[in-house]
Structure 1
Amino acid sequence: MIKIRLVIFIALLILFACPTYSLADEPISRPLHNALEKAQSLMAMGEYGKASNLLEEFRKKNDDQHYLLDFIQGAAYLEQAKPSLAKARFAACIRQKPDYLPAWQNLARCWFDLGDMPQAADNYMKAYALSNPKEPDLLYYAAACLASGGDYPAALEAFRRLMAEHKSQARLEWKEALVQTLIQADKQGESLPVLEEIIREATGDRKRRWQEVLLYQYAELGMDKKAVAYVHALLDEYPEEPLWWKTLWRLHLNQGRYKEALAGLVVYSFFQPLTPKEIELAGDLYSASGVPGKAAGFYGQALKNKQDPDVILKIAGAFHRIGKLQEALDWLDKALEQDQKSTILLSRAYILYDMKNYSKAATAFKTAAPQAKKPGQAWLMAGFAAYNANNLGNAKDFLKNAEKYQYSKKTASTLLSHIMQQEDS
Structure 2
Amino acid sequence: MQSRLVALGCGALLTLLMVTVPGMLLAVDLPAPVRLVLARIAPMMAAKEYSKVAAILEPALNASETRHAELAFALGNCRMLRGDRSGAIKAYDQAVSLDPGHAHAWLNQAKAAYETKQYREAGRCFAKGYGAEQGKHPENLYFSAAAYLMAGAHQEAIASFDRLFAAHPKSIKPEWREQFLHALMDDGQSKRALPLIRDLIARSAGEEKTRWQELLLSLYMRLNMTAEGATFARQLIDQQPDQPRWWKALAHIQLAANRHEDGLSALVGYSMLTRLSNQESRLLADLYLQAGIPAKAVPLYSRQLQDKADGQIAQRLVMAYHQMDQPAKALEVLARFRNLEREPRLLMLQGETCYTLKRYPEAAASYRRAASLNGTHQGQAWLMAGYAAMQAGDLETSSRALAQAIRFDKEKKAATLALSHINQQMVR
If you compute each CA radius of gyration, which structure gives the higher value, 1 or 2?
Answer: 2
2:148·2:154 contact (CA, 8 Å) conserved in 1?
Answer: yes
Relative to structure 2, which stretch is displaced further, 155-164 or 354-363? 354-363
Is the 2:248–2:266 Cα contact (8 Å) retained in structure 1?
A: yes
- 8 Å CA contact retained: 1:343, 1:372: no
Q: TM-score, normalised by structure 1?
A: 0.78
- Paired with 1:72 and 1:102, the residues of 2 have a C-alpha distance of 15
Post-superposition CA distance 1:377-410 (Å, at most 9, x none): 1111111122123221121121122223333233
Structure 1 counterpart SS, 2:292:
coil
Checking the alignment, whether the CA contact within 8 Å between 1:67 and 1:96 is kept in structure 2 is no
What is the root-mean-square deviation in Å for CA atoms of aligned residues?
3.2
CA deviation profile, 1:157-216 (whole Å, cap 9, x unmatched): 211101111122122222233233333333344333333333222222222222223333
CA distance in 2, matches of 1:403, 1:132: 88
The secondary structure found in structure 2 opposite 1:271 is coil
Q: How far does residue 62 in structure 1 lie from its aligned partner after superposition? A: 8.6
Residue 342 of structure 2 corresponds to 340
1:275-321, Cα deviation, whole Å (9 max, x unpaired): 11001111101111112222111112333443333323322332343
Aligned-residue sequence identity (percent) comes to: 28
Q: Distance in 2 between matches of 1:377 and 1:69?
A: 88
CA contact (8 A) 1:128 1:136 kept: yes
Distance, in Å, in 2 between the alignment partners of 1:396 and 1:224 is 56
Alignment partner of 1:68 is 2:77: yes
- Residue 384 of structure 2 corresponds to which residue in structure 1? 381
Q: Secondary structure at the match of 2:170?
A: helix
Shift of 1:363: 2.8
Give 1:31 deviation, angstroms.
9.1
Distance 2:44 2:328 in 1: 96
Q: Residue in 2 aligned with 1:400? A: 403
Contact 1:12 1:144 in 2 (8 A): no
Alignment correspondent of 1:257: 259
Go from structure 1 to structure 2 and tell me whether the alpha carbon gap of 1:421 and 1:227 turns closer, same or farther (over 3 Å shift): same
Tell me whether 1:233 sits opposite 2:264 in the alignment: no
Q: For 2:367, which of 351, 365, 371 is the aligned residue? A: 365
Q: Which moved more, 1:20-29 or 1:144-153?
A: 20-29
Q: Which residue of 2 aligns with 1:103?
A: 108
Contact (CA 8 Å) 1:101, 1:131: kept in 2 or not?
no
Question: TM-score normalized by structure 2?
Answer: 0.78
3-state SS of 1:168 partner? coil
Q: Does 1:14 align with 2:14?
A: no
Query: 1:80 matched to which residue of 2?
Result: none
- Which position in structure 2 is the counterpart of 1:41? none
> How far apart are the structure 1 equivalents of 2:46 and 2:400?
107
5+ residue gaps, structure 2, are 26-37, 58-74, 97-101
What amino acid sits opposite 1:351 in the alignment? T
SS in 1 for 2:82: helix
The structure-2 alpha-carbon separation of the partners of 1:19 and 1:149, relative to structure 1 and needing over 3 Å to count, comes to: closer
Whole-Å separation in 2 of the counterparts to 1:119 and 1:331: 69
Q: Superposition pairs for residues 23-62 of structure 1, below 5 Å?
A: 27=39, 32-33=44-45, 36=48
Q: For the Cα contact (< 8 Å) 1:309–1:339, is it kept in 2?
A: no
Q: How does 1:88-99 map to 2 (within 5 A)?
A: 88-95=86-93, 97-98=95-96, 99=102
Whether the 8 Å CA contact 1:277–1:302 is kept in 2: the answer is no
Find the aligned partners of 2:264 and 2:303 in 1 and give their Cα distance.
17
> CA distance change for structure 1 residues 123 and 346 in 2, over 3 Å: closer, same or farther?
farther
How many residue pairs end up in the alignment? 383
Q: 1:387 to 1:340 in 2, by over 3 A?
A: same
Q: What runs of 5+ residues in structure 1 fail to find an aligned partner?
A: 1-8, 38-54, 75-85
- Which one has more relative contact order, counting CA pairs under 8 Å at least 6 apart? 1
Cα distance in 1 for residues equivalent to 2:361 and 2:341: 23
Name 1:414's counterpart in structure 2: 417
